[in-house]
Chain A
Amino acid sequence: MQGIGVSPGISIGKAYVLRQRKEVASGVVLSDETAILREIGRFREAVKLSVEEVHELFKKVVGEERDILEVQLELLQDPQMESDVLARISSDKMTARDAVLMVIGLAVQVFEQMEDEYLKARAADVQDAGNRIVRNLSDRVNALISNARSTAGSGISRSGFEDDEGLIIIAEDLSPSETIGMDRSKVHGFATQSGGKTSHVAIVARLRGLPAVVGCGGELDGILDGDLVVLDGSHGLVLVNPTAAIVEDYRKKREIFRQEVRRLAALKDQPAVTTDGVRIELLANIATAEDMEQALAFGADGVGLLRTELLFMERDSFPTEDEQVRYYTTILLRAGNRMVTIRTLDIGGDKPLPYLELPEEDNPFLGYRAIRICLDRKDIFLTQLRAILRASVFGKCRIMLPMISGVQEVRQARAILEEAKGELLRSGIPFDSAIKMGIMIEVPSAAVIADLLAKEADFFSIGTNDLCQYVLAADRMNKQIKDLYDPYHPAVLRLIRYVIEQGHLQGIPVGMCGELAGDPQATSLLLGMGLREFSMSAPAIPAIKNILIRSSETAARKNFQL
């Protein structure tokens, strides 16, 4: 069956089905003041026990799982919850257990009705805190039974399980403490009926590197304890009692995935340094804050290309300056002290905006687009530059102009940047006054005059996709001429070499953010040409790093001849 894969990887194991035990209120009315005081005492005792339990869990976990427990602790001791429960006990004469069930039930409803997906998911945290208190209010025998559910996997050692095949937890949903409390040596994956990308099970599974599929729906009900389950977290698949051939197939896939993970893990924190000591920057091409997370997970040294188009698409009007500031700030904060290269708006006839009317063009790729629009519609450009400048104090960033074809464009853009700086200065808004402004080299004319542009720009980034199609006059989307589109054509390679050489002569950094940068076949060649910044989609980074750390820059230089 199909769900949402929220944590990649493959697990094969026996189903361990968790059924939610529905807690029902007793309806008992407390008889007198003594009973009320007793119930208040029991409630306080249960909260104390619950807090101690969570402190115990704390010892087992690190990082983000700790954040989840911090929230649990806060909820268990929430003053609002406490005063509501105490009011139910003393005024409504409810038992402590009934009072907690009632108060938690109402709070859960409030969260479940929220529109925001994240806040909606917090209902699970509230429910979890409530369940814990309720469990600690129940008598000892009951406590043991319900404990068995939340410690699933830790105490189970049934016969018949092969050692390498663990348990796949099947549940309607899992609470944070259930997920965290599970013994990772036995639990090999999770499949839940409900939930989404922000569910705890998704977060914890990713942190632990266990596959997880959520949102499988009611079909999951059909799975019984002990069923053989194949879980493919990469594709969101749950297979129940598949044939031996399919299981064998998935065993192989699992081995390949594990090897890949080990290889990635080993490389992640290792800098890309060649055998003869040349440090290469491996950067990521990203568009969102989520991509930033992924870039960090793959060990990117920074961002070589932040596409800002996404911010402008799928909406009815231009994003305001404040909206843009928030978008850039979020990414810069996540990037920490890594450099983020922000490319200014790159739209055109092929990438239209619903609220920006552009003239019909016979040839949008040679038309009114990218920097050409920005220099013409100064209002759009100025807003974006102001937003980038305002965000620049939250991290390290630089500005990159797309589609530059001549010196004048760079000078005009720089004048507008100075104007933006002046405005902010006068308003007393802080920004990075030394912010760098570089250009993409993707138009042939720019490549040919790289020597002149190197005096104007603070850095170069070669966009091989457009450069290649412009140099060879071959549309890469046109199937009939797909063989003509060849980034290894000597004309393209000569231009790349020239751009790198001229940039370095002027002492400015030269990078590449086109597909060639992430192509393992080109790595040695580009290294030999002197390229020092390779920017690509994050998952391509480990493979390129793997090549670079085995290469000698001196040898690459000698090998390459054009």
Chain B
Amino acid sequence: MITRDFTILAPEGMHARPATALIKLARQFQSDILLKKGIKEVKMNSLLNILSMGVKGGEVVTVLVEGIDEEVAAEALNTFFKQTAW
């Protein structure tokens, strides 16, 4: 399993548009991908769940990836969190 922490760069936080993009990205991999903030942990396949975490700008989220393509998936997510202009 790969675990990575990311700081949300956008001041407005994790909005519907980037969250939708994130779900679409996660769907491309076979690995199980979880998103964690504090004690809350959700699968990265539900917009309802991701939005209801209420991730704000500047907050740190943890992404947990486990599966046969976990390295590729973690790298793709890394690029997404670091570079996506949302």
Contact = CB atoms under 8 A, between A and B. Distances in A.
Given A75-B48, A119-B54, A70 B20 contact: yes
B47 to A, nearest CB: 4
Interface stretch (A107-115, A442-450, A454-462, A522-530): A107-115
Interface string A62-96: 00000100110011001111000000000000000
Interface in B1-55: 7, 9-13, 15-17, 20, 23, 43, 45-49, 51-52, 54
B20 to A, nearest CB: 5
B68 to A, nearest CB: 21
B23 A67 contact: no
The B contact surface, by secondary structure, is loop
Contacts of A289: 11
B51 A116 contact: no
B11 A126 contact: no
A329 B58 contact: no
B62 to A, nearest CB: 18
Contacts of A119: 13, 51, 54
A326 B11 contact: yes
Contacts of B10: 326, 330
Report the interface size class on chain A: 20 to 34
A114 B51 CA distance: 10
A111 B58 contact: no
A71 B20 contact: yes
A317 to B, nearest CB: 15
A130 to B, nearest CB: 11
B54 A81 contact: no
Contact of B17 (A67, A75, A78, A111): A67
Contacts of A164: none
Nearest to A326: B11
Report the interface size class on chain B: 20 to 34
B17 A71 contact: yes
Contacts of B23: 74
B47 A322 contact: no
Contacts of A182: none
Given A67-B17, A71-B16, A79-B45, A326 B9 contact: yes
Given A74-B20, A327-B11, A80 B48 contact: yes
B47 A75 contact: yes
Contacts, number: 60
A330 B11 contact: yes
B48 A107 contact: yes
Contacts of A115: 54
A125 interface: yes
Contacts of A107: 48, 52
Interface in B55-74: 56-58
A80 B9 CA distance: 27
A79 B43 contact: yes
Contact of B16 (A114, A125, A330): A125
Nearest to B47: A74
Contact of B57 (A70, A71, A80, A326): A326
Interface in A297-324: 322-323
Nearest to A333: B85
Query: B11, B16, B58: which has the most chain A beta carbons within 10 Å?
Result: B16
A110 B52 CA distance: 7
B9 A126 contact: no
A537 to B, nearest CB: 23
A118 B19 CA distance: 14
A111 B13 contact: no
Nearest to B10: A330
A122 interface: yes
B58 A323 contact: yes
B48 A81 contact: yes
Given A81-B48, A118-B12, 14 more contacts: A71-B16, A71-B47, A74-B20, A74-B23, A78-B46, A107-B48, A107-B52, A111-B52, A118-B13, A122-B16, A126-B48, A322-B7, A326-B11, A333-B85
24 contacts: A67-B17, A70-B17, A71-B17, A71-B47, A75-B47, A78-B47, A79-B43, A80-B46, A80-B49, A111-B51, A115-B54, A116-B13, A118-B12, A119-B54, A122-B16, A126-B48, A322-B7, A326-B10, A326-B11, A326-B57, A330-B10, A330-B11, A333-B85, A394-B85
What are the 4 closest A-B residue pairs judged by CB atoms, nearest first?
Answer: A80-B46, A333-B85, A74-B47, A71-B16
